[in-house]
Every structure is written in C-alpha cells, then in structure tokens.
Amino acid sequence: MAKLRARQVETLKRNAVVARADGLSRAPAHAAHRASLHGKLCVSAATMAHPTLVSFPLPRAMAPHTVERSRSVGLFFDGEGLPGAWLRERARLRLPPLRGLRALRLEGELLPSASAPSVGLRARVGAAQAVLFPQSPGPWQFVLPLPQGAPRLETLELELLGVSFTNALAWLGRVTGLAPLRSYRQQPSNRRLRITRIATEEGVTLYDFSCGAARLDSAFVRDRLTLGMNVAGFLTAHLGIGESGRCMVRAADAAGIAVTPIDLRLPCKNPRADRSLESRLRMEPDQAVTVVHIDPPASRDLEHHHGKSFRRGRYQIGYWAWELPEFPDAWLSSFAFFDEIWCPSEFARRAIAAKSPVPVLTMPHAVDFPRPTAPSQELRQRFGLPANAFLFLVLYDLNSYSARKNPQAALTAFRRSGLAERGARLVIKVHSTEGNAADLERLKASIADLSAVHLITGALSRTEIYELEAACDCYVSLHRAEGFGLAVAECMFLGKPVITTDWSATAEFADRTTALPVPAREVELTENHGPYRRGQRWAEPEIDAAAQCMCRLAEDATFCRQIGDAARLRIEERFAPAVIGQLYRRRLETLALQELIPWTPR
C-alpha cells in the first residue's frame, strides 16, 4: 500500500510540474528581481536621507553579524489559541551551549481527530535520536539523550512522521488549485501534533512555545549566562570622558560582569596620569561586546589606531554624552560604527534617539568612590584655603568650553550675593590650562579685583579632586547645558548642597528635594562654540536666583546639612555601581536572548 501511494504521489507531482512549468520557472527570477530592486531602493533611500554616509567605508557594525546564533527553522504557530508549535515535516532548532546537560525532555500534546492517520516525532541531536508515536490524544513527552563532550551549539532536528502522503496532497493542492485537494492545504494532520516545551531532564525550561515564538527561555539564559564586556575609553586620562569609562568598569565589577578595560590609543589633550586601572588594562578586546567611550566624530579613527580586529565579530556600543536638545547633523555618520548607543542621561538619550538609526539607551554614570576621611580643616590646609570661611566651589575643564560651563555666571552671582564682605569665599578649579591660555587669561582678568576668589590651576589626581570637593561647603554649577553633570553628582555623593541650573541632565537628579535648582530660560546660540553651533539652544540661568541660593546656604547651617544629606541619599540610591551594573546586565541578557551576541554557559 505504501509503495502504491508513493507511485501515485510521484505521478501527480510530475503532472503538476508539467502543467505549471511556465509559471514555476519564472518564480525564482521574479524573486531575484525583487531582491535586487530592494537593494537598489535601500541604497537610494539611504543616500538621499544621509548623503554624508556615502563618503565613508561601511564599518563592521553595519554588516550582518557572523555570530552563530540559536534559531529555529520549520516551526509554525497558529493564531487560533492552539497550544505550542507544529511542523510541516522537518524543523531545526539551534541549541545554546549545554554544558552539564545529559538529556532533553520534549513535551507536547496530540490533538484529537476522527479520521487523521497516526503521527509521530523523531528528534535528533548529533548521533543521538529518539522516536515517539503518541498512542492517544492528550499530553505526551519523551527524553532525548544528548551527546557528551565539549559544550558547543548543537542542532536539534525534528521530523514529523506519518504525514508524507498528506503533505504531498497539500503541495499538489497549492500548486494546482484543485478543489478536491483544498482540505489538505491547511495540513490538518501535521497540526495535530503540537510541541509545547523543550526542557532539561530535570524540568528546567529551555524553550516555551506557548508564547507563540521559538525563543530561549529568559530564566534559563539568566541562570546560565556568563556575561562580559570590553570597556574602551581614555581610561588613564584626567578628563570627564575618561572618568566615564572608569565609572563603567566599577559598575560592571559590582554586577559581576567580566570586564576587559582598554585604554584608547587615540590622541588626547589631557594628561594620561590616572593609574587606578593600570594593572587591568589590556591591548585587545576579548569579550563579545565592546562599549567605547568616545566623542562621536572620533569614532572613524578607532580602526586606524586599534586595527580591524578591534571591531570584527563583536557587538559595538558607543557611549556618547551630548549636552543640547538637538544632535548635530554633522555627526550622523558616526552612528554607522555602532550597533547601539548608550548615554548617561535621559536628556542626552532624547536628543540622540531623535536622529539615530540604532537603539539608544540611558545608562547613567555610576557614582561611588572612597570618601575623604581627613578633617575639613586639614583638607583646606592642603589647598591653601581659609579654615573657617564658607567655601563655594566651581570646577570645570577648559577643554569642555567655558561658554557651556559658564563660570562667569557663578562669579557674577557671588558678587551680587555680597557674601565676600561677610567672609565667604569662591574657589575656582580649572583643568587643562595648557592650550587654553586665552580662556585662562580671561578668567584671571574677571577675578583680578576680587580677593575673595581662590583660583587653582595645578593638575590634581582624582583623589585630590574628591578631597577638594569635600573641603568646600557648596558646589556651584550654573552651566548652560550638561549631558550628565558628573561633578554635580560627585559633590552630592559627598553630602554637599549643590546650586545648579535647572535644565538639561542635572535636572533629572538635582531637584528641589536634593539641591537648589536655579531657574533658567532657553536661549538661541548667536555664535559657534566648538560643536555647539549657532541656532541651537541652551539655557541661561537666572543670576539673582543663584545669588539668593548662595545667601540661604551660607546663612542656614541646618538647611545646608539637610539638603546635603538628601543629596547623598539620592546619589547612593540611583547611581550606586551595583544599581547601574544591573542595568548593564539586563541589557546584555536581552542581547543574548535576542541572539545578537553569543553567550557562554557557566
């Protein structure tokens, strides 16, 4: 009977092929034409939307990932409330590394039918296989032993048995359109045998098909996943973007994520004198994900200084900080070097995401460091500061553009407060004086007539910066825009009250309960300041309001202490390394679940 059916099927197939040979012969050509046309349209659209992209070579991040991924072929799902997945005939499921697992358990259900033939399932991994023919409708399960050896990606092959004849009729019904064969086109026999779950021998779920997709179970992945990331940045440099990378290393450490720190070899204006990660630095990445702390335009130089292997085969994340509401059009080509972007604040994320072709996520800085333990008067003595005066601190990097940092606003507010006559002092610490002589001279000229200002221009280590912040009573940042406000967060972590512009990223954590936010109005830039171009917008803080804040803090020690305590708690709760590190972990787990990065079992 089986041989007769086979001969009938072959005859029907030959007749159908002859009857529709013309149409079938054209189909691949149409498909190829559509694919070719799609490619041309994509190129044209990209060229029109981003004409600058055509002048750069296509980086690795824009090419398809070459990572071998867990994925399924041949599993289908119904939108009719039926359980699990079904097969037309064969399916393949790429399994994750299965270290220590001896067997898989396949579970499913056989749906009832009055006349359909019996169906079975063959499952195979490597040389091991198992076969099941459910005897009656209802739940079924069977165990498939796994080949033992080194963990690697194995393919689970599934074959539906007993449906060859009805599959042939379904095929003929599709290609011929004959009315008597229409009932076979939906393959009712195949749909009877449902696969609902693949689990370990102990019952831990690997795949749960009840969700309508063939995806690795998230709990299984999180339980067995070993995560790692390369953190590349100016990790030895005294500058904000260097501290950004060091903050990330601390957060990843706190979350138990394996970290490979890489010091970028790109040119850097600031001194490379930070030795906190010196013993851990590596020359080459060895993790599946690389996060690069860099200004967007410098992204094109990474391969020149680090070689092609720096990106090859790795998921690339750019860590960018941007301070204005609109991301520069001139930097759009920088997206092509990365698979996604992280940024330190929601303010920066909104600006970048509005123009980004890749995902953009907020990953704030982790703020934590050993608090100075020396008495305040001892710390002040180290910096030559008066022992008993109320000290306001302004701290900024001349390479970060004085027009944006806006130290003159703090100076003017201090003048208007009249606190100099009552013994208060303003401490101004500037970084990167070399190469910024004009800005430094303008600052010196503006304070020449004010003896109550202490200007510090010498290079300080990170520890000394923390000591200076701890030595002062209040930090003042009347900036025009910030992408995060690391110094603001550091001083809040030290329990210092902060006076800061109530605009951009600092407004996300320095509110009226934890700081003294200064009202500001948005203004349009009338001239260019580095990347901050004429026509963009930033904030102009209200000087009189800032002066009033200074007076309140200098005159009310209790309020000063209360707001400082609230500031410290805010930073500890929101930006502790363990908190931020968990954000990294969840994102890396998601990338693994989406099969965008490979993962290694514990």
CA distance readout (Å), 413 to 441, 478, 514, 545, 563:
20, 9, 21, 8, 20
Higher pLDDT, 77 or 27: 77
Residue 183 is predicted with a pLDDT of 77
Q: Which residue has the tokens 């074959």?
A: 159
H/E element, 122: strand 120-125
**Alpha carbons 393 and 401: distance in angstroms, whole number:** 18
Q: How confident is the model at residue 602 (pLDDT cuts 50, 70, 90)?
A: low
Amino acid at 153: L
Name the least confident of 191-200, 367-376, 504-513. 191-200
Residue 12 is predicted with a pLDDT of 42
Fold of the CATH domain 72-216: Jelly Rolls (2.60.120)
How many alpha carbons fall within 13 Å on the CB side of residue 450?
A: 25
Residue 404 is predicted with a pLDDT of 95
How many alpha carbons fall within 13 Å on the CB side of residue 15?
A: 10
Asked if the model's pLDDT at residue 19 lies above 50, the reply is no
Q: Which residue has the tokens 């799609």?
A: 38
Higher pLDDT, 362 or 239: 362
**What's the rounded mean pLDDT across residues 163-189?**
81
The CATH number of 225-366+580-601, from 3.40.30.10, 1.10.150.120, 3.40.50.11930, 1.10.1200.10, is: 3.40.50.11930
**Cα pseudo-dihedral 426, 430, 435, 438, rounded to 10:** -20
CATH 3.40.50.11930 domain extents, the chain: 225-366+580-601
% of the chain beyond a pLDDT of 90: 61
pTM for this model (two decimals): 0.79
Asked if the model's pLDDT at residue 407 lies above 90, the reply is yes
Strands 498-501 and 474-477: parallel
CA-closest candidate to residue 242, choices 479, 464, 461: 461
The tens digit of pLDDT for each residue in 456-468 reads 998 899 999 999 9
Q: Which residues pair with 263 in a beta bridge?
A: 233
How many alpha carbons fall within 13 Å on the CB side of residue 142?
A: 15
Judge contact between 523 and 501, C-beta under 8 A.
no
**What's the rounded mean pLDDT across residues 183-198?**
85
Amino acid at 243: E
Residue 31 is predicted with a pLDDT of 33
Judge contact between 221 and 589, C-beta under 8 A.
yes
Q: Which residues of 503-525 are buried (b: 16+ CB within 10 A; e: fewer)?
A: bbbbbbbbeeebbbbbebeeeeb
Find the helix packing angle between 557-575 and 577-593, rounded to 10°. Answer: 20
Burial class (CB in 10 A: 0-12, 13-18, 19+), 406: buried
Q: Is 99 left (phi over 0), alpha (psi -120 to 50) or beta?
A: beta
H/E element, 200: strand 193-200
Q: Which residues pair with 243 in a beta bridge?
A: none
- Return phi, psi of residue 229, to 5°: -150, 140
Higher pLDDT, 12 or 396: 396
Sign of CA dihedral 415, 419, 421, 425: negative
Residue 26 is predicted with a pLDDT of 30
Asked if the model's pLDDT at residue 398 lies above 90, the reply is no
The tens digit of pLDDT for each residue in 315-343 reads 999 999 999 999 999 999 999 999 999 99
Judge contact between 103 and 206, C-beta under 8 A.
no
Asked if the model's pLDDT at residue 2 lies above 60, the reply is no
**Alpha carbons 83 and 67: distance in angstroms, whole number:** 31
Q: Which residues of 260-290 are buried (b: 16+ CB within 10 A; e: fewer)?
A: bbbbbbbebebeeebebbeeeeeeebebbbb
CATH 2.60.120 domain extents, the chain: 72-216
H/E element, 512: none
Which homologous superfamily is 376-575 in?
Glycogen Phosphorylase B; (3.40.50.2000)
